[in-house]
């Protein structure tokens, strides 16, 4: 696991989000100028060894 410095992260795997909820689609533009829609939000638990 790395800290990329991003304040928000994205995933194609909505089933891994514990509390996924749909949102009004929001356009996201990538650094190479492609655009796609964010369609939901949620949280994921990441377990790390102690």
For 2-45, the pLDDT digits (tens) are 666 777 788 888 888 999 999 999 998 988 999 999 999 999 88
Per the confidence metrics, is the pTM higher than 0.85? no
CA distance 36 to 28: 5
Q: Which three-class secondary structure string do you get for the chain?
A: CCCCCCCCCCCCCHHHCCCCEEEEEEEEECCCCCEEEEEEECCCCCCCCC
What's residue 46's pLDDT? 84
CA distance 19 to 21: 6
């Amino acid at each position: 696991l790395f800290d990329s410095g991003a304040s928000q992260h994205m995933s194609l795997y909505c089933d891994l989000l514990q509390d996924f909820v749909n949102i009004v689609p929001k356009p996201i533009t990538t650094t190479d100028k492609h655009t796609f829609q964010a369609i939901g939000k949620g949280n994921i638990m990441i377990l790390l060894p102690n």
